[in-house]
Amino acid sequence: MTNGRDEMLATMIIFFTGCMIGGIAGLLYAPQSGVRTRRQLTDLAEDVKERAEDLTDDASVAMKKAIDRGRQFVKA
């Protein structure tokens, strides 16, 4: 059961990494000033950081729930 979850988590990480790389490449090849590009990269980095924190929080909550369920299962 956890194997499917591990694969889904790995797929999500790969997807978001690909999106980030694609976004950076798009910004670097866009015809605009360097100042604007750097500002967009900074905004993108902040957005990725926030999403990573949200994903980490969600994973932590899910792990705690799984541990609690396991403990209840062992007690029964």
> Tens-of-pLDDT digits for all 76 residues of the chain?
456 777 877 888 888 888 888 888 887 787 878 788 788 888 988 988 898 888 888 888 888 888 888 888 888 6
Closest listed residue to residue 26, CA positions, set 35, 42, 39, 37: 37
What's residue 72's pLDDT? Answer: 86
What's residue 67's pLDDT? Answer: 87
- Cα 3 to Cα 7, 9, 10, 16: the distances in Å are 6, 10, 10, 20
Q: In 10 A of CB 41, how many CB atoms?
A: 14
Domain extent, residue 30, equals: 2-75
Total domains present in the chain: 1
